[in-house]
Amino acid sequence: MELSQVRYFITLCRTLNFTRAATQCNVTQPAFTRAIQRLEDEFGGPLIFRERSLTQLTELGRNIRPHLEAMLDAADAARATADAQTNRRTEILKIGLGPGIGAGAIAGVIREVTTALPDVTIHFDESGPAALVESMLTDALDCALLPDHCDMPERLNRWNLYRDNAVAVLPPEHRLLARNAVTAGDVVDETILVGESCGGFATRLAAESAQPLRLQRCHGATSQMLELVGAGLGIALLSNRLRFAAPLATRPFTEPDLSRGILLAVVAGRPLNPAAASFVKLCRAQRFA
């Protein structure tokens, strides 16, 4: 199929009007109609349903639209990124990070984007999944890393990136530092600090544990919670991908398995600027450790 055919089809999907779509694409209507017919021939059926003044997508048309839209966006982004590099355009890459999800896993990807496009500004927004989804839908964020168990609308495309495992974050000289790994039975007598930015590990443990756990609510940034751990108020269960400064130490939390999948989410059908498009492509192209 040709780039122009796909562009015509997507324009027609958006306008549902042959005359207007042909005008927008700067092509005569007969040429526009022929291009759509050739696309219909390739896909083996009508993509557009036309009856008098009513123009609608057929089921086949509705099914292929998101894929052709993504391919068209990818074609435009590949070229736009090359242009942005040549012309040194200023871009902002706005990434949402769900609760307890650090930027460590994507730091290499961001380094690559900023190397190719040096005038990019990186903007992180750490928040709950619902707030990040809302920000993406209102175009305040380009994309977000979210835990795989959160509710997401159909309008979001999503790709699995990696798994996050839980670690117990312990103050210096804590008795559990003598263990190679920590289990639910080990923390029954411990105070576990739990907040909105913890990533839900402690909450899941509390839900799955046969015995009641001593949970201390502590909302705010992870850095503040870690200061409380350092002061001996309790321990924390956080992602193994976060970095913890000495004297804090960690032990893998192994039983039960509290690991969670981390997804990359993007609003379907919304073109991204070159920096964001490059970030998403780099994330999708590789396998995260």
* Interface residues toward another protein, by CB under 8 A: 1-3, 6, 38, 41-44, 64, 67-68, 70-79, 81-83, 85-86, 108-109, 112-113, 115-116, 159, 274, 278, 280-282, 284-287
> Is the Cβ of residue 250 or residue 278 nearer to another protein in the bound state?
278
Nearer to another protein, 211 or 286 (CB): 286
Whole-number Cα distances in Å, 114 to 92, 259, 267: 11, 31, 23
Closest distance of CB 116 from another protein, Å? 4
CA atoms of 50 and 46, how far apart (whole Å): 10
Show the tokens assigned to 193: 């600090």
d(CA 174, CA 161): 33
CB-wise, 76 or 196, nearer to another protein?
A: 76
Minimum CB distance to another protein, residue 74 (Å): 3
Interatomic CA distance for residues 171 and 153, integer angstroms: 40
Count other C-beta atoms under 10 Å from residue 208's C-beta.
11
How far apart CA 74 and CA 134 sit, in angstroms, is: 24
Within 10 A of 94 (CB to CB), how many other CB atoms are there? 22
CB 286 to another protein: min, Å: 5
C-alpha span between 10 and 26 (Å, rounded): 14
Report CA torsion sign: 174, 175, 181, 184. negative
Burial letters 36-48, b for 16+ CB under 10 A, else e: beebbeebeeebb
CB of 266 to another protein, least distance (A): 11
Query: Whose Cβ is closer to another protein: residue 78's or residue 221's?
Result: 78
User: What is the token pair recorded at 286?
Assistant: 């590789």
**CA proximity to 56, closest of 13, 3, 120:** 13
Closest distance to another protein from the beta carbon of 115 (Å): 7
Burial of 172 from C-beta contacts in 10 A (0-12 / 13-18 / 19+): exposed
Residue nearer to another protein on the CB measure, 118 or 212: 118
* Closer of 76 and 125 to another protein (Cβ): 76
**Cα three-residue angle 53-67-25, rounded to 5 degrees:** 50
- 236, 212 in Cβ contact below 8 A? no
